[in-house]
Structure 1
Amino acid sequence: MNGFAVGLRCLAQGQRWVFGRPRWLLFGLVPALIALVIYVGALVVLALHAGDVAVWATPFADDWEDPWQPLVRVGFALLLVAAGLMLAVITFTAVTLIIGDPFYQSLGEKVEETEGGAPAGQGRSFWQDIRVSISDSLQVLLRVLLLTIPLFALGFVPVIGQTVIPALGFAVSGFFLTVELTSAALDRRGLPLKERIRLLRRRLPAALGFGVPLVLLFLIPLGAVLLMPGAVAGATLLSRALAAEPSVAPGHGATVAAGTS
């Protein structure tokens, strides 16, 4: 299995899996719909107040003449909303997975069952699973912020701020979206968060092939809701494919063969 096409194929297969099983599709939509209501409200508030935040954040432009003052402040407001959308794509998945943990655990296990069986898992209780999921999601969010904030600042740089930086933003979002979605399946195989990130970093083309198209699809209205069940199914398939590569025993640091891209 090689490259970007691997992740893209797993994404497509996951969507086909759930859309071929309407009961599981409807089952997986419930947590995504709950999260959608929360996020729509938050993004509306952000959009309504982005102009005020731009004025507060750019006091140095108070005495600037037209067109520079409105250009800077409108640009800042647009970047703020864009950053909010990108952050929403990442955190939407994390929040939806936390809300829907029992839903998506069952969905992922069903996918594994149809593909030849799932590992025994970690033997944790429901509340322990929730605690681990929240902890892992917060750690992923911290990593995203450490990368997103510098990218946001670089968005003001002429030319690269409108070309290279958005592309890097999609790549970062796609990678960590894959980290979030594969968390349950890889956790069942005994890989802690750091090992999961290391595994996906070594198979970066596959991780981006899965995550970047999904980020773009999630930007379509209601795309994140409709595609979330299939994203979970596809991430399970991707996890199975990656975990099938040579590795040491789970729980002792997975050293996965890098493979070719």
Structure 2
Amino acid sequence: MAILVTGASAGFGKAICKAFINAGYQVIGAARRLDKLTDLQQELGEKFYPLQMDVADPDKINTALSTLPAHLQKIELLVNNAGLALGLEAAHKANFNDWLTMINTNIIGLTYLTRQILPQMVEADQGHIINLGSIAGTYPYPGGNVYGATKAFVEQFSLNLRADLAGTKIRVTNVEPGLCGGTEFSNVRFKGDDAKAAGVYQGVKSIQPEDIANTILWIYQQPPHVNINRIEIMPVAQTFSPLAVSRDEVKG
């Protein structure tokens, strides 16, 4: 039995792998960048198994899963962490290829991998799926368009999985972080503009990958009869904005 974490080479995924291995679990870390996974294996030791996988490509998911050794083929926890945001332009200015990349990774990849792992959990009547959503799936913001829509999908997919799995002992959770630093998220969103990415977190004590990893470990370690349906996490510095109102100019 093993734990499979996607997007394991950096950010949330890397922190999640560390937290679970430090707690004594066997972890499969999946990501596109094999060199990063190899470095992580050197750091974490024999309880970490590197698995090269591109979740945006179903064929590569199949290939990766087929290479797992026999003792790691039964997945007791799937953490669907791999995902990304690209761009912050308004919808009429956005790059459609960026939209496709987000949809293929955040939706197609997540659902396809889940569909491959879920039957074995149902057969064993045991397992847990933890999806990484976002507060962007609940609270719209300018430029969030398709990214926010993909995370709204992840939330509803998670809740609907619970409905489908009624009567089983399989748990499903959607974890919804707010502003979180210490990851590549904004660097990827702004396509390598590190200064612009750093500005997102300037002067803010944001949550960190370790906070998310510790939360996921806590969720998983709850008694088997306890399911955390969804959990929203923001830094204290972040809260809710008033709804925007556009006003016509008053001519006096």
TM-score, with length taken from structure 1: 0.28
Higher helix share: 1
RCO higher in structure (CA 8 A, sep ≥6):
1
TM-score, with length taken from structure 2: 0.29
